[in-house]
């Protein structure tokens, strides 16, 4: 077992499906677009069915990290599926188990480091957080 965001995680679930660093304000559309493009280029969409998701955010001490969850999830269309006409409105109703974790790093300033794990709920090795 290892630890992610203060929770023990089985070795099979250790590798994040996405690790990235963004700068700038989440209030700007470009922030969500950059994250969405990264997801589209780097990950395979979640299989059909209900999804569990764990998001670990590292921010500087001056950032209000609780404001990040909505724009962050709005960018997950490539993982959860989304209508082409509205790419920032993903099928987030698929998420049945969501964990948000936060760490402060004084060296990040206004940047945000993001690690994300997800899988189909109920499959073997899907989620083993305590």
pLDDT value of residue 15: 61
Q: Does residue 101 lie within any of the structural domains?
A: yes
pLDDT greater than 90 at residue 13: no
Pair 73, 118: CB distance under 8 Å = no
Domain span including residue 96: 2-120
pLDDT of res. 124:
53
* CA distance linking residue 62 with residue 41, whole number of Å: 30
Domain total in the chain: 1
Distance CA 10, CA 101 (A): 17
Cβ atoms of residues 72 and 118 within 8 Å: no
Nearest by Cα to 90 from 45, 41, 30, 34: 45
pLDDT tier at 123, thresholds 50, 70, 90 = low
CATH of residue 30's domain is 3.30.1330.20
pLDDT of residue 130: 35
Inform me whether the pLDDT recorded for 26 exceeds 50.
yes
Q: Does residue 95 fall inside a structural domain?
A: yes
- The Cα 27–Cα 46 span in angstroms is 26
């Amino acid at each position: 077992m290892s630890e992610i965001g203060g929770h023990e995680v089985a070795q099979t679930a250790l590798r994040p499906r996405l690790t990235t660093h963004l700068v700038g304000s989440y209030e700007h559309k470009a922030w969500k677009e950059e994250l969405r493009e990264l997801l589209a280029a780097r990950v395979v969409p979640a299989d059909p069915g209900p999804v569990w998701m764990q998001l670990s955010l590292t921010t500087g001490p001056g950032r209000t990290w609780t404001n990040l969850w909505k724009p962050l999830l709005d960018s997950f269309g490539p993982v959860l599926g989304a209508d082409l006409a509205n790419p920032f409105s993903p099928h987030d109703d698929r998420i049945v188990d969501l964990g948000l974790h936060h760490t402060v790093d004084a060296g990040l300033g206004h940047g945000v480091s993001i690690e994300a794990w997800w899988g189909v709920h109920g499959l073997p090795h899907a989620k083993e957080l305590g």
